[in-house]
Amino acid sequence: MNKRMHVSVTIITLLFWLLAPVGSSLVAQPQAQEQSRSSQTGQGPTAPAELEAFLEPLMQEQMDEHHIAGAAVSVVKDGEMLFARGYGLADVAANKPVDPETTLFNIGSITKTFTFTAVMQLAEQGKLDLNADINTYLDFKIPATYREPITLAHLMSHSAGLDEFFFGTLSPSAEEVIPLGEYLRTRLPQRVRPPGVVSAYTNFGVALAGYIVERVSGQPCADYLEEHILQPLGMAHTSSQMVMPESFDQDMSLTYVYADGTFQSVKDPFRFNNLAPAGSIMSTATDMAHYMIAHLQEGAYQDARILQAETARLMHQQSFTQDPRLGGWAHGFEEYRLDNPRVIGHGGVTYHFYTQMVLVPEANLGLFVANNSANGRKMRDSVAEAFINHYFPLPAVTPPTPLENSTTDLQSLEGSYAPASDSFGTHEKLKLVLEIHKVKAQDDGSLLLSSLAGSQRYVEVEPMLFQRDDGKHVDFLDYFSFRANPDGQVLYLLVEKYAFQKLPWYETMSFNLLFSAIVLLLFLSIPLVAIIWRASTRLREQASRQPRDARLARGLLGLLVALYFISLTGMFSAFATENAVLLGTAVAYTVGQFLAIPVAILAIGAVVFSVLVWKRGYWTLAWRVHYTLVTLAAVAVVWWYFNWKIIG
């Protein structure tokens, strides 16, 4: 990623990720609410006709509701493809329908499961040790920031403790994609927490695993996936290559935004990804059926085998959980349900391809769904959720019974929490502010969890485990717990497969809104003061008689404020050039961030002049106080720049 990108851009991405649900409702159910095995009577679909009768109206309803141009779905059961169908259009202008056998979708982060399948192949051959320090396999060194080394097992559960970044991870063309090893070596993020503590989703960590596959196998990761996974599984219409065969390009679905009653085609900037092992495979619904069958059949597809049965079973077992009462990770697969039945899988999100793969190993059942439009995340989650809940219904929703005689100190849990998967060490850190979830203890013994998306009340159902007070199964926030350090200080709020890190008071949303308001008020007073001085004959005459230092002091502060607002304008211009930001080529944005440096230098000068203004008695007392207050605001802005990693 381009390390000189920004901060305010973060805000646009924030809003996108904040308003889009992080996960579907296929959530794991804590032990406190376990269902009895006998209550689960479904075994999944039994006949294509029955499945078609269920899926057809569901797909059409979801496509209409969310304005989806084209979609595809495939279902596998007991080693066979039970159903595959395309819906809508892959190319609206050409009136080209989606074909489940030939229409290609970018499967996004589902690619991660392919990369980790490759890791498991090499592990079963004895070429990789999942619990060894990854420095063993790299040609550069991960710093020993913490005593514990990072292992492949950590990478596969997103618990390596690496900082994450997003901007600049894409390239405008295949020729401009940076070689994987060079990209990883020159853009290595900080280690921001010890490994194995919490799960914080990271594309960089998966790309590291892909590079290890390259190093150990002697093949580029894309070539390895083609030879050892795609070809054996007969996935003849799937590509892991940046440059696909021409025939594949012709079958690639376009992506769409629905506006003014029509579908408008938009370019997908995720096509050329510098972190390719984390999300670059293009595939079809029927080819993904082959892949699902192989995993459900313990590594076998027809006469081919990509994993030994023991390895496949290991890959699907839980490898990490932040709290045993919450869902966690298998080796690269997310746990969506813990029991009745256990459901694993992975989703994918690009711009605007949305995909979901869910596997029910004990029912030998799998679903893949993909679409090509801006609201597709809601559509793919709703389809996957409805599919699983139709064949394996959850118990009737009932409000939970609060834990009696709780000894939990609810006040110690209060605070602001931001996603641990966000950046804490780059200029993207400001993204935290708009993704904050605030926890507040209530008088009735419950907790109120609030964010920009709304608020919800939770009750304690087990020690330090909280459930929605209405008992509904909505998303990844149905339940949460907390983790403290040995001294009892709460550090994390834990949810399904993800964690939120507690923020200090000066990084909360309320503080930053107040801070910004005060700074803007004081800085805007500078042009107002200039107008007053210009309009007043008496003040103009006084200014003309002032020493050179006094005039220079006013001019310096005026320049500082002007550069500050130009900087903000440049950074906020990224709202109009989103793709350029993703690609790391937003010039105005980069210039805006760069101007933070002269603002900081001028702030130092303003401090010097503030001392002189008081020492030499320039202007009246009121003007000296005003000058000093604006200078203090400038100093505060410099601190803010450094705290949020805009500079420094």
- Give me the helices (H) in 442-576, please: 509-535, 537-545, 548-572
Could you say which of 503, 527, 545 is where a domain stops? 503
Is 396 part of any domain? no
Give tens-digit pLDDT for 147-171: 999 999 999 999 999 999 888 888 8
Is 477 part of any domain? yes
Q: State how far the Cα of 556 lies from the Cα of 570, in Å rounded to an integer.
A: 21
pLDDT for the residue numbered 33: 39
Percent of the chain residues topping a pLDDT of 90:
76
Asked if residue 634 has pLDDT above 60, the reply is yes
Do 280 and 256 have their domain in common? yes
CB 310 within 8 A of CB 299: no
- Number of compact structural domains in the chain: 3
What number of helices (H) and strands (E) belong to the chain?
19, 21
Q: State how far the Cα of 14 lies from the Cα of 579, in Å rounded to an integer.
A: 15
Other Cβ atoms closer than 10 A to 398: 10
Do 367 and 419 have their domain in common? no
- For residue 25, what are its two tokens? 């409702």
Do 598 and 498 have their domain in common? no
Is 191 part of any domain? yes
Is 176 part of any domain? yes
Q: How far is CA 284 from CA 76, 350, 466, in A?
A: 14, 16, 40
Could you say which of 469, 503, 537 is where a domain stops? 503
In which residue are the tokens 């599919």 written? Answer: 387
Do 512 and 483 have their domain in common? no
Do 449 and 415 have their domain in common? yes
Is 26 part of any domain? no
Give tens-digit pLDDT for 475-520: 889 999 999 999 999 999 999 899 999 999 999 989 999 999 999 9
Q: State how far the Cα of 349 lies from the Cα of 501, in Å rounded to an integer.
A: 24
Give tens-digit pLDDT for 429-485: 887 888 999 999 999 999 999 998 899 999 999 999 999 999 998 888 999 999 999
Length, in residues, of the chain: 648
Is 344 part of any domain? yes
User: By residue range, what is the domain housing residue 570?
Assistant: 507-643
pTM, whole model, 2 decimals? 0.90
Do 381 and 428 have their domain in common? no
Do 415 and 333 have their domain in common? no
Do 357 and 438 have their domain in common? no
Do 71 and 54 have their domain in common? yes
Do 559 and 425 have their domain in common? no
How would you classify the pairing of strands 105-106 and 343-349? unpaired
pLDDT for the residue numbered 579: 59
CATH code for the domain of 482: 2.40.128
Give tens-digit pLDDT for 291-333: 999 999 999 999 999 999 999 999 999 999 999 999 999 999 9
Is 449 part of any domain? yes
Do 325 and 428 have their domain in common? no
Q: State how far the Cα of 22 lies from the Cα of 451, in Å rounded to an integer.
A: 14
Is 596 part of any domain? yes
CATH code for the domain of 206: 3.40.710.10
Do 525 and 624 have their domain in common? yes
